[in-house]
Chains A and B, each alone.
Chain A
Amino acid sequence: MVGIRTHDLRKVYNSAPPFGAGGGSPPAQRGKQKKPKPEIVALDGLSLEVAAGEVFGLLGPNGAGKSTTVGILTTRVQPTGGQAWIGEHDVWKQQVPVKRVIGVVAQRPNLDFSLTAREILAFHGAYFGLDSHERTKRADALLERFKLTDRADQMVRGFSGGMMQRLSIARAMMHDPQVLFLDEPSAGLDPQTRLLLWEIIREYNHSGKTILLTTHNMEEADALSHRLAIIDHGRMIALGTPGDLKASVPGGYLLRLRFGTNSPELLEKLRSLAGVREVRPVEPNGADVYADRGGSLIPEVATFAASSGAELHDVNISEPSLENLFLHHTGRSLRE
């Protein structure tokens, strides 16, 4: 069983992200030299420890640094600072032993368009030294498990996005790696395929494997991870089990309110309501209210609003969730 560890990882990109790279708009901080070089700080001192046999989730919005973290841990990105280990091996210095024990599903599809699905699995197995009997056996089993058997001998060029994604994951499992990296594995999958994938991920974990998955879908992070880290701007902002993290949001419930006018006095009044833990003003005329109850607060809020002359225009109530946690830490929604 093999775990994952990083210490104070930093990554600064010196060029604009290549076309189609994951991540949001780069926060280009231009230096003052004559020819300005964009400097993008993707990771800013990230330390993680993933236990062997754990399913660990990295949750964060686009551009948070999830793919960069996976890239460093899988030898594809050179860290600017800090260290990363897979088991006992320093990832950057001992690339080959590291590559032997990891399987990787990249965020962007990277299947071999000149081959059929079965050939892709077989050649991947061959790179890892499996003999031809073993390759055939494993490829057949994986094709079956991922419901690709009927397309096994077709070129992947014509596959749908979901089929390519399934095949990518099958390929990553082909050499039975001790550590599996899945970068946004269910992005763009239909709900049915997503459930199949979740089932397969759990099953793989039960066979003793360590899994690191990234997602910006909190539901997925919640459903799959034993523990998860929430990252934003290359920094960790929260770490724990999904349950602990959700419980750490004050009150748990979040009421996003919007009023007709801006009234600081109203916000003061809201703070005095029973069960309200925290009230944060939101520009221009709103407030985020963290409370330990949800809908039952609304009549009181509406009454206060009316009496302050700031009519209640819009209400959005959410139950305890990781989304709320992210909002609480950053003031932004994960989906933004």
Chain B
Amino acid sequence: MSSMSLALRNLRHRRMRTALTVSGIVIGVAMILVLLSLAAGTSTQANGFLRNVVGSEITVVNATTPSFPGGFKFNGTETGGFGGGGGGGSFSMIFGGGDPINASLVGRIDNITGVYVASPELSTSGYVDGANVFLYGIVPSTYSEAATGLDITSGGNLTGAGQILLNSVTATNLGVSVGSNVTVGANSTGGSTFKVVGIYSSGSTFGPTSRSGYVELSDAQSISSDYGLVTEIFVKTTTPSLVSAVASDIESVISGVTANVASSITAPASSLSGTLTTFFTVIGLVALLAGGFGVVNTMMMSISERTREIGTLRAIGATKGQVMQMFLGEALLIGVIGAVVGVFIGVVASAAFPLFTGTSASHTFGAAFSGALRPALTASNLGISLALGTAVGIVAGIYPALRASRMDPVEALRHV
């Protein structure tokens, strides 16, 4: 007969009361878990939102390239703002920018801690069916993650060499559409045949990039004879808060490059998700605290009812420590059962949450924050919830258990 199985007997003996007490912890733990998951989901969404809308967080260029405060990235002039667009590649062209850098730097940047993805771009000038066009060579698989994705209005993305994406202005001017073949080269005469696979939104029609096209990096390199070279590398970090640290790491690890940071947007957005996390956690903790007081209350009631039993235990030779253990054991069990059931309910509630709030794609600013709240269950949040529920049980049990162990046995035995 261990103090633990004695504790379990006592809890089973008063099933209804135990259930009510446990439910206090259950509610607290379930709330904590749902709220932590919501906070995690929100910050995941916020990060996803940043990736979609903000474009690259860091743009690595040759150190000789002039840099521009306020963020390279937002000049998605091709689409006129947040909607899509190719990122900052245009600058080096517009301002006659710096020299290209070695394409192998992509691999070195990828290896830096905190880097989520790095994607190279070669900005050059070329001719499509004889018309001068800004040509961007990209790696399609990583480009959409590292920079703002293109807002393709018809057709699809690049899937291989010999393919080209044109912006709608260029396509209209040239009178081509998805499926057409065009001739692309470094000069107005000659070149190779490319297939138009997609048309992307031009955004504003003014500006120097109004005629542009995207091809695979290797195609761009052969057109401009810049073999093995790129003009910029777009970088996304794993967490928005890491941006400036990663940028300075890049500059210190790789000499001769400048890492421009789009700090103006990432900082407030990441602090917003931090605030939400704190807010949600506080609500959950308050609920759990209430559950803890429920445990204290039940334990005190139980101790007062069992005064004579405690006196008996002390009389037949139970030490203060053993009495303490029995009651702490009950509190611990309440905490553990409450935590386990609470986590279970929290998981179910988190999974069911989108059903109640509706879902929507978060491609626009509004949807990302006001539309679908999608909780994200993480192992650490499950662990935190379990640990918190258990800890609340134990902590709530300490005072009642201490009271029980310190009862005067003679007084306790006189109690009726």
Partners in one complex: no
